[in-house]
Amino acid sequence: MTAGPLEGITVVALEQAVAAPFATRQLADLGARVIKVERPEGDFARDYDDAVNGMSSYFVWLNRSKESVVLDLKTPEGIEAMRGLLARADVFVQNLGPGAAERLSLGYEDAKELNPRLVYTSISGYGAGGPYSSRKAYDLLIQCETGLLSVTGSPDAPAKVGISIADIAAGMYAYSGTLSALMQRARTGEGQRVDVSMLEALGEWMGAPYLYTLYGGRPPARTGAAHATIAPYGPYDCSDGTVYFAVQNDREWQRFCAEVLEDPAVAVDPRFATSSARVAARAALDAIIGEVCARMTREELLRRLECAKIANAELRDMGGFAAHPQLDARDRWRLVDSPVGQVRTMLPPVTAEWEHAMGAVPALGASTERVLQEFGLNGFPASYPHEGDETRQNRENRI
């Protein structure tokens, strides 16, 4: 295995919560040095929960392989130290509130003057300009504003997606946008600004229902775990449980009828002859499929589906995912260090010739003294947590 492709790249991250930490953790996975600048009380995601031996599950997920440096940006000394870090960085990632970076004299123009080669990546809720630019944005609210809740849930009630999908979308585009800007810098020698809004990131992922509604004349229905515009696609009850399967095209539809339903006549029934027809006649179709499935056990239905090469799945909970035989067979789990001991986490999903970093989750301020001295930024306040200190989190979460 070779070193990561971003080895030698230094990222300074003035970040909190999910979106920016997700972007910078992926940069760290590729070998970048990520210096996470935290306020004296720490990234508030450290306190979202205490499920991982006293640490936040969010923080553990998002912050491995980073160095934590504490700076008080309410003081001139803190701002000066921050500017010193940016002067020698390759990338700056920030997701402060609207206008906060500019008020701290850490906006793009300020940073560009310090370091013309700097890639300056900003993540916001709604982007600069427009009537929503100053609004606060959280994941659920962006799910609402992009219409995601209108197409998610049961016919009776909308439901939020169970993960921070708006934050994750923004983090993914910040990550890919930063990589693209670094590639362009390799050609031009100049940095640039990369702006990502949560609204536009998740809005991009809403492209299919948007187009379906705009040109189809009606929005996709909320159909619970079933697909809104493809049928059969979703959960079906057997005599001893539920199986999920999906039929994607007419060739699969004919095999499904012949080998799973054991009734080829259903395939040529005019009500179900095309994908759109099957969606329009979903109730009648589900009744036919449900009657057949109810006579089978889950094991029997899964066997028929596999023989017919119809995609299928069991509904797993988090324990089932953690013990997934495919992930075990592919050796996808690793242990990483943290202030509360080793934690089990999954390798990044891209497999290539380089080795992913998989470094430790940092204690608050663990690298403050070492990093500031390395950058020639001496004289920081002694009250800052630094390497060797037993920080608040360590004291509270001893194991």
Delimit the domains of the chain by residue range. 10-205+329-396, 233-315
Q: Which CATH architecture has domain 10-205+329-396?
A: 3-Layer(aba) Sandwich (3.40)
The pLDDT, as a whole number, for residue 379 is 60
Q: Is 356 buried (19+), middle (13-18) or exposed (0-12) by CB count in 10 A?
A: buried
Decide the pairing of beta strands 343-346 and 119-124. unpaired
Topology classification of domain 233-315 = formyl-coa transferase, domain 3 (3.30.1540)
The pLDDT, as a whole number, for residue 121 is 98
More confident residue, 382 or 186: 186
Decide the pairing of beta strands 311-313 and 241-246. antiparallel
Task: Name residue, tokens 């923080």.
Answer: 59
The pLDDT, as a whole number, for residue 275 is 87
Of the candidates 92, 83, 148, 82, the one whose C-alpha atom is nearest the C-alpha of residue 117 is 92
Distances (CA, A) of 82 to 114, 283, 308, 374, 375: 11, 61, 60, 13, 11
Mean pLDDT value across the chain: 91
Residue 273 — very low, low, confident or very high, per pLDDT cuts 50/70/90? confident
CB 310 within 8 A of CB 296: no
Of the candidates 15, 18, 56, the one whose C-alpha atom is nearest the C-alpha of residue 142 is 18
As a whole number of angstroms, the distance between CA 266 and CA 256 comes to 10
More confident residue, 134 or 93: 93
Amino acid in position 150 = S
Checking if the pLDDT of 299 tops 80, the result is yes
Angle between helix 207-216 and helix 198-205 axes, rounded to 10 deg: 60
Q: Is 72 buried (19+), middle (13-18) or exposed (0-12) by CB count in 10 A?
A: middle
Map the chain to HEC letters: CECCCCCCCEEEEECCCCHHHHHHHHHHHCCCEEEEEECCCCCHHHHCCCCECCECHHHHHHCCCEEEEECCCCCHHHHHHHHHHHHCCCEEEECCCCCHHHHCCCCHHHHHHHCCCCEEEEEECCCCCCCCCCCCCCHHHHHHHCCCHHHCECCCCECCCCCCHHHHHHHHHHHHHHHHHHHHHHHHCCCCEEEEEHHHHHHHHCHHHHHHHHHHCCCCCCCCCCCCCCCCEEEEEECCEEEEEECCCHHHHHHHHHHHCCCCHHHHCHHHCCHHHHHHCHHHHHHHHHHHHHCCCHHHHHHHHHHCCCEEECCCCHHHHHCCHHHHHCCCEEEECCCCCCEEEECCCCCCCECCCCCCCCCCCCCHHHHHHHCCCCCCCCCCCCCCCCCHHHHHCCC
167 is catalytic: yes
Asked if the domains at 10-205+329-396 and 233-315 fall in one CATH topology, the answer is no
Tokens of 120: 């300056």
The pLDDT, as a whole number, for residue 229 is 84
As a whole number of angstroms, the distance between CA 81 and CA 277 comes to 64
As a whole number of angstroms, the distance between CA 387 and CA 393 comes to 13
* Residue-wise pLDDT tens digits, 10-58: 999 999 999 999 999 999 999 999 999 999 999 999 999 999 999 999 9
Checking if the pLDDT of 398 tops 60, the result is no
The pLDDT, as a whole number, for residue 1 is 67
The pLDDT, as a whole number, for residue 393 is 40
Tokens of 119: 């890639």
- The percentage of the chain sitting over the pLDDT mark of 70, rounded to a whole number, equals 94
Amino acid in position 325 = P
Q: Report the predicted TM-score, pTM, of the whole model to 2 decimal places.
A: 0.88
Residue 389 — very low, low, confident or very high, per pLDDT cuts 50/70/90? very low
Order of strands across the sheet that contains 241-246: 233-238, 241-246, 311-313
Question: Which one of 167, 240, 286, 328 is the catalytic residue?
Answer: 167
CB atoms within 10 A of CB 109: 11
